[in-house]
Amino acid sequence: MTKLLSLILFSCMLALGAMAQTGFTKYILYVNISPDPANMYVHKNLMYLTAQSAPYVQVLLAGDGTSFVKRNNAASVGTGFFPYLQILGGKGDSLIMLVFDRPTNHAVEGVYAYNLKNDTMYLLHGHSGLSGWPILLSENNKVYYWGKTLTDFVIYQHNITTGATDTFCHLPPDILEVKMALVNGKYYVSQKHRTTTSFFCDIYTVDVANRKLSSAPLPNSYNDVNISGLAAIYNDLYYVGYTTAYGTELYRYSGSGPATRLTDINTNVNIDGGNSLNSPFNLAVYDNRLYFGAGDGTTTLSLYEYYPAANATTLIYKTPNKYVKFNPIDFYVYHNRLFMFAKEYQSNVHQPYIYDRTDTPQRLIRMQTVTAPNTYTQRYYTEYKNDLWFTASDSAQNLQLWRYNDSALGPPPQAVREIVAPVRASVYPNPATADAILSLDLKQALKFSVQLTDIGGHVLYTKAVQAYNAGKQLLVLPTGSYPAGMYIYTLKDETGSLLHSGRLVKE
């Protein structure tokens, strides 16, 4: 725990905004550019999440619910820039992590065991060409994720217990997005392809023995709008499918034979209310019922329920204004209630709602600064110490970590301990036409090196480790002779740990 509470060496700052009357607490992780999604995982009574600390650099944060500190993993993955991290699981004193999207050093992509005692990472299985946010499914201590080899796209299976990684299934070329589900012993893959002229989506079963998809897609699973979500109730698979006669509707598949169309919300009107791309066909199971967003041509995107026991579809809630999409997304079942994000009024901002089947969905708080889903901010959820934690971002593209507790109102939560970055840095002019000035504000005396690389990771300039006093410091970056383009500057202490990283544009 001493190491956990040690000095933080990265350019983030954690702040607290407490709203006890609603049960919410907000932590803001300030970053330099638009944040990438944060992946969260609870292991040994601590919560771990990945977040961006500098342009294209992710770090691992650990917290006990009141403060979060950085673990020094970024420098342990080898050379090169742009590490992206996702936590696959935990085993003993290690986190099992996926490292990917490293264009300057694909050789270090793969599955690693990160030892929490000595802050070192050990390669378990190497990959090359992983991209996106690839985790698809976790079951029985196995994690499935997808990526690209030198020849094709594949789904991998990693066994947390044994440390083994195998190719689970080969995918077709030109895959853009993948979802996966395990229903009644069968694996299903929902995928989005790209052709030379358009997109198309369909769903297949997995031929596990031959490590490939079935020869034909599921009935009526084709559509040309969005990849379908997958859900299971009573050993049946539910998905969004399409026919010319009925448009995009909800279907049930029992593992063989034809699929059953369950809804007829409006002929030739897509279940997301049109051809808009802002609803990724979210499906959520709550109390043995299926919930999803749909539109009937007059209500736009509203919240619907399908109840298998009665074979009935019910409109649960629509906004009073027919021109405003309620657009429920990012569902999560928390304390036997359905948590979701949805729009209200004319705002393009999604707000948190909760639904318990006794009333209409209730908005919990107005989060004025949370960006809409069309900024491609993906929300992650985890439950920790009886609270629901989730991520969002504000209009300034700062990553926010929110905590929600639905228990009785109580005293305001204790303020989180502020994490102060030892280095604040900026470059001017930026863009630069000649040499640039690196302006530093040091909170304490430090020893560090300065390095400048191009976007490909080639080192162009290095200033050796040197001692600097606390306060303002000005350093020259010799970019005058460099060609136009983007460059990355990094500051590292005498142990090689990252202090700060930023971008510089040369015109």
pLDDT digits (tens, 9 = 90+) for 329-351: 889 999 899 998 887 655 567 77
pLDDT tier for residue 188 given thresholds of 50, 70 and 90: very high
* Predicted pLDDT of residue 225: 65
- Would the pLDDT of 465 be above 80? yes
* Predicted pLDDT of residue 25: 62
Higher pLDDT, 370 or 13: 370
* Predicted pLDDT of residue 208: 95
In the chain, % of residues over pLDDT 70: 70
Q: How far is Cα 354 from Cα 363, in angstroms, rounded to an integer?
A: 7
Higher pLDDT, 447 or 122: 447
| DSSP track, 292-342 | EEE--SSS-SEEEEEETTTTEEEEEE--SSTTS----EEEEEETTEEEEEE
Domains delineated in the chain: 1-128+378-421 (no CATH), 423-506 (2.60.40.10)
* Predicted pLDDT of residue 201: 87
Instruction: Give whole-number Cα distances, 255 to 36, 122, 143, 218, in Å.
Output: 37, 41, 23, 9
pLDDT digits (tens, 9 = 90+) for 275-305: 443 334 678 999 999 998 887 666 567 888 9
DSSP annotation of 223 reads B
* Predicted pLDDT of residue 503: 75
pLDDT tier for residue 504 given thresholds of 50, 70 and 90: confident
DSSP annotation of 437 reads E
Higher pLDDT, 17 or 287: 287
Nearest to 113 by CA among 134, 88, 148, 137: 88
CB atoms within 10 A of CB 489: 23
Nearest to 6 by CA among 494, 442, 497: 497
- Would the pLDDT of 18 be above 50? no
* Predicted pLDDT of residue 288: 94
Helix segments in 91-172, DSSP class H = none
Whether the CB-CB separation of 96 and 90 falls below 8 Å is answered with yes
* Predicted pLDDT of residue 20: 32
Q: Which tokens belong to 208? A: 């596990």
Instruction: Give whole-number Cα distances, 18 to 10, 395, 480, 495, in Å.
Output: 24, 19, 47, 37
Give the three-state DSSP class for 251.
strand
Degrees to nearest 5, angle at CA 488 with 499 and 432: 120
- Which residues have C-beta within 8 Å of that of residue 265, sequence separation ≥ 6? 249, 271, 294, 295, 296, 304, 313
Range scoring the smallest mean pLDDT among 7-11, 222-226, 346-350, 371-375: 7-11
Q: What are phi and psi of 194, to 5 degrees?
A: -125, 130
Range scoring the smallest mean pLDDT among 122-131, 403-412, 415-424: 415-424
Among the ranges 13-22, 373-382, 440-449, which has the highest mean pLDDT value? 440-449
Mean pLDDT of the chain: 75
Q: The whole model's pTM is what?
A: 0.72
